[in-house]
Amino acid sequence: MDKPLIVVDLWKSFNEKTVLKGINIELRRNEFYGLLGPNGAGKTTLLRIIVGVLKPTKGKVIVNGIDLSRNPIEAKKLIGYVPQENILSPYLTGLENLLYYAGLQGIPRSDAKKRARELLEFFGLEEYANVKVAKYSGGMKKKLSIAAGIIHDPPLLILDEPTTGLDPASRRNLWDLLSRLNREGKTIIMATHYTEEAEKLCHRVAIINDGVLVVEGNPLELKKKYGPPNIIELYLSSSMEELTPRLSRYSIGKVVQVDEKVLVPVEDYRSILPKIIEEVVGLGLGIRRIEIREPTLEDVFIKLTGRRLE
Ligand SMILES: Nc1ncnc2c1ncn2[C@@H]1O[C@H](COP(=O)(O)OP(=O)(O)OP(=O)(O)O)[C@@H](O)[C@H]1O
Ligand SMILES: [Mg+2]
């Protein structure tokens, strides 16, 4: 059976600037796949090429065996796209917005109404069906945007930062709904810069930095392979540049200092923590709090790129 999506050696330049540098991806059927990367990594550019709104400088996109550049109309029928920016009309109601997008997909009116009702129910928006979108909260707008994106029931769903800007409760609610869509049969590719989101939802994650796919894999496996056993997080009374080289001696990876917070990846915190405290106190710094935690995908990102994600 054909793969839901194959991206082959994709390159994209804008004028002189190359923002995608040979990306290869193969999605498995029914997979939830994440693109994790910082601002400007190239995630949106990649997704726009996959949905056919942007042409690559080089490379191919194949959707369920169909070459997007040769047969864009057929390929696009298989894709639902929810862009980063808002696509809804505030002057229309939720239902009217969905019917509008159904019209763009060529769905007959009576089928469209039925489908729209089902989606409004799935997303818990039935009561707001006849309310103008201008009155919707951020979370409700996002849910309606996703409903609009899948109005034609495509097997492949493309999400660009679906929860950015949402409060924690709306975010969790959306995570549940996205998981359900995936369990009920949609293959999903999602750009995010939230490690928690990627870890929670994705079967596989690709770490993207500066237009390059640095590594891909299951979140747990990536953490095991690239993450340190423990991270010591120090919250200090003030920051100090000299601290980083001093602590690097005890660390098995890059020590990262952000304002008063210092992250030290270590092999075994029990033997190392006393020495670290001694160094910090020796420099005359106060310690407000110490946390010891397991690695996250952010630590994997730091290890592989030398930079922070957020
Ligand atoms: N139309 C364009 N013309 C010129 N440069 C562009 C254009 N679109 C994107 N870029 C540049 O390409 C790079 C990648 O941008 P892109 O929006 O794909 O990143 P991103 O990973 O989605 O970032 P974010 O997390 O901020 O959404 C950026 O440096 C951006 O300035
Ligand atoms: Mg983006």
In a shared domain, residues 205 and 234:
no
Task: State whether 194 and 242 are in the same domain.
Answer: no
Looking at the structure of the chain, the number of domains it has is 2
Give the domain CATH number at 154.
3.40.50.300
Domain shared by 233 and 192, yes or no = no
Q: Which ligand 1 atom is at minimum distance from the Cα of 41?
A: 21
- Structural domain contains residue 307: no
91 lines ligand 1 (CB under 6 A): no
14 Cα: distance to centroid of ligand 1 (angstroms):
9
How confident is the model over 114-139, as a mean pLDDT? 97
Both 213 and 74 in one domain: the answer is yes
Q: Evaluate: CB of 155 within 6 angstroms of ligand 1.
A: no
Do residues 214 and 275 both lie within one domain?
Answer: no
Whether the per-residue pLDDT at 1 is higher than 80: the answer is no
Whether residue 48 is found in the same domain as residue 181:
yes
Binning pLDDT at 50, 70 and 90, where does residue 227 land? confident
Residues 172-201: pLDDT tens digits?
A: 999 999 999 999 999 999 999 999 999 999
User: Is there an atom of ligand 1 within 6 Å of 211 CB?
Assistant: no
Stated pTM of the model: 0.90
In a domain, 212, yes or no: yes
Give CA separation, 259 vs 66, 212, 235, 236, in Å: 50, 29, 9, 9
In a domain, 87, yes or no: yes
Q: Where residue 307 falls among pLDDT bands split at 50, 70, 90?
A: confident
Q: Are residues 34 and 128 in the same domain?
A: yes
Q: What average pLDDT does the segment 140-162 reach?
A: 97
Domain that holds residue 273: 228-294
